Amino acid sequence: MNRLLALTAMVTVFASCSRDAPPTPASSGASATPRVVPPSPPSTAQAVDALDRIDGRTPVPLLPMMANHQKQSMRDHLVAVQEIVGAVAKQDFVAVEKSAGRIGFSEQMGAMCTHMGAGAPGFAEQALNFHHTADEIGVAAKARDAGAVLAALSETLTTCTTCHQTFRQQVVDDATWAKATNMTAPAGPMHH
Ligand code: HEC
């Protein structure tokens, strides 16, 4: 019974997170109308295809190394946000500025984002806008203005969530990546 409840809860949570609510298993007892449960994909490749059809966001084609690198830097972006919130709570503006610097714009950051987005029109623009918006956090920290730091952080987080709503990773092989970007694979995340 506990397992059934847990399953029902999981399905409910999943449904509320996805654009197209998946069908409720007929056995959940949550609905009187039996629904059709799609068969599980027989292979991993088909499971990936099934996800591609459910996830309506624009794919960003990336080689495995690039995809891993992108996720690493994403996790560090979130750490930077965590540090900024902690530092502003303590009115430690030096620490705010330091952490904001990690998500701010630099030529190297810009080149990397352009490379990452080479196969997804619009990605690099959103990425550069994010880094330029994050620069305002440092400006507010220099002015020792906690309210302005939080306002700039909020603007920055909007650029994070907007991009996440628009794009998703799509890990591809060398040939697919080369075709999508008109570049030669393999290429490391730092090289053009
Ligand atoms: C220009 C686009 C873009 C911006 C801006 C952006 N992200 Fe992401 N982020 C992505 C993509 C694409 C993924 C992969 C999502 C997927 O495939 O479902 C991702 C994934 C992540 C992940 C998951 C990492 C993992 O290990 O799976 C975290 C955490 C994250 N982003 C945090 C942030 C934070 C915090 C910000 C802003 C401070 C931010 N991102 C800004 C595009 C972006």
Residue 175 has pLDDT above 50, yes or no: yes
Residue 165: pLDDT band (50, 70, 90) is very high
Atom 35 in ligand 1: residue holding the nearest Cα:
78
CB atoms within 10 A of CB 144: 12
Kind plus residue range of the DSSP H or E element containing 168: strand 167-171
Q: What is the pLDDT of residue 15?
A: 47
Going from the N-terminus, what domains does the chain have, and what CATH number goes with each?
Answer: 2-47 (no CATH), 58-181 (1.20.120.290)
CA dist 176 → 49, 61, 71, 129, 170 (Å): 15, 8, 20, 27, 11
The CA dihedral of 7, 9, 11, 12, to the nearest 10 degrees, is 160
**Cis-peptide, bond into residue 186, ω within 30° of zero:** yes
For residue 118 and ligand 1, the question of a CB distance below 6 A is answered with no
- Classify 167 as helix, strand or coil: strand
Higher local confidence (pLDDT), 5 or 43:
43
Mean pLDDT, all residues of the chain: 86
pLDDT tens per residue, range 105-154: 999 999 999 999 999 999 999 999 999 999 999 999 999 999 999 999 99
CA dist 87 → 1, 31, 132, 151, 156 (Å): 46, 49, 21, 15, 16
For residue 81 and ligand 1, the question of a CB distance below 6 A is answered with yes
**Ligand 1 geometric centre to CA of 188 (Å):** 19
How much is the pTM?
0.81
Residue 190 has pLDDT above 50, yes or no: no
pLDDT tens per residue, range 47-60: 999 999 999 999 99
Q: What is the pLDDT of residue 42?
A: 87
**Ligand 1 geometric centre to CA of 3 (Å):** 33
Residue 3 has pLDDT above 70, yes or no: no
Atom 6 in ligand 1: residue holding the nearest Cα:
160
CB 60 within 8 A of CB 167: yes
Residue 21 has pLDDT above 60, yes or no: no
Residue 158 has pLDDT above 70, yes or no: yes
Residue 78 has pLDDT above 90, yes or no: yes
Atom 37 in ligand 1: residue holding the nearest Cα:
160
* CA dihedral for 8, 11, 17, 20, sign (positive or negative): negative
For residue 105 and ligand 1, the question of a CB distance below 6 A is answered with no
